[in-house]
């Protein structure tokens, strides 16, 4: 029962470096999401993909890009990392919009 799998689990970057966070789900869900979670801020939506082939901005998209590679995989890219992007990143999936979302265990990202 893998559910939603995120890699890597931890990462430390220097300011200006780039990296891609990977997410895969095995529940045949149509919709996938990327969130960041910061102390006192709750979960904030970065980008989402309602279905394969579509992506849209969420609440805090600046500094990020996404790719819906296929129905299973949804990646998040930081092109030029900034200290303000230090956070815990969660990927989630759901069968449709406004349905229960199922989360991975997160990527803890520190940018120095």
Partner 1 sequence: EDQVTQSPEALRLQEGESSSLNCSYTVSGLRGLFWYRQDPGKGPEFLFTLYSAGEEKEKERLKATLTKKESFLHITAPKPEDSATYLCAVGSGNTGKLIFGQGTTLQVKP
Residues that bind partner 1 (CB under 8 A): 4, 40-45, 48, 50, 58, 90, 92, 97-106
* CB of 42 vs partner 1, minimal distance in Å: 4
Q: Give whichever of 50 and 69 is closer to partner 1, judged by the CB atom.
A: 50
Q: Give whichever of 43 and 69 is closer to partner 1, judged by the CB atom.
A: 43
d(CA 27, CA 72): 8
Concatenate the DSSP letters of all residues of 73-92 into one string: BEEEEESS--GGG-EEEEEE
Q: Give whichever of 14 and 39 is closer to partner 1, judged by the CB atom.
A: 39
Q: How many CB atoms lie within 10 A of CB 6?
A: 21
* CB of 99 vs partner 1, minimal distance in Å: 8
Exposed (0-12), middle (13-18) or buried (19+): which is 17, by Cβ within 10 Å?
Answer: middle
Strand pairing partners for 79? none
* CB of 30 vs partner 1, minimal distance in Å: 12
d(CA 100, CA 81): 31
Q: Give whichever of 74 and 90 is closer to partner 1, judged by the CB atom.
A: 90
* CB of 11 vs partner 1, minimal distance in Å: 15
């Amino acid at each position: 029962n893998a559910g939603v799998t995120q890699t890597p689990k931890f990462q430390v970057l220097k300011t200006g470096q780039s990296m891609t966070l990977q997410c895969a789900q095995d529940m045949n869900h149509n919709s996938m999401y990327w969130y960041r979670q910061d102390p006192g801020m709750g979960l904030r939506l970065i980008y989402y993909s309602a279905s394969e082939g579509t992506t849209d901005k969420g609440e805090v998209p600046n500094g990020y890009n996404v790719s819906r590679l296929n129905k299973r995989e949804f990646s998040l890219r930081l092109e030029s990392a900034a200290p303000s992007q230090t956070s815990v990143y969660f990927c989630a999936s759901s069968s449709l919009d406004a349905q229960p979302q199922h989360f991975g265990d997160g990527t803890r990202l520190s940018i120095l």
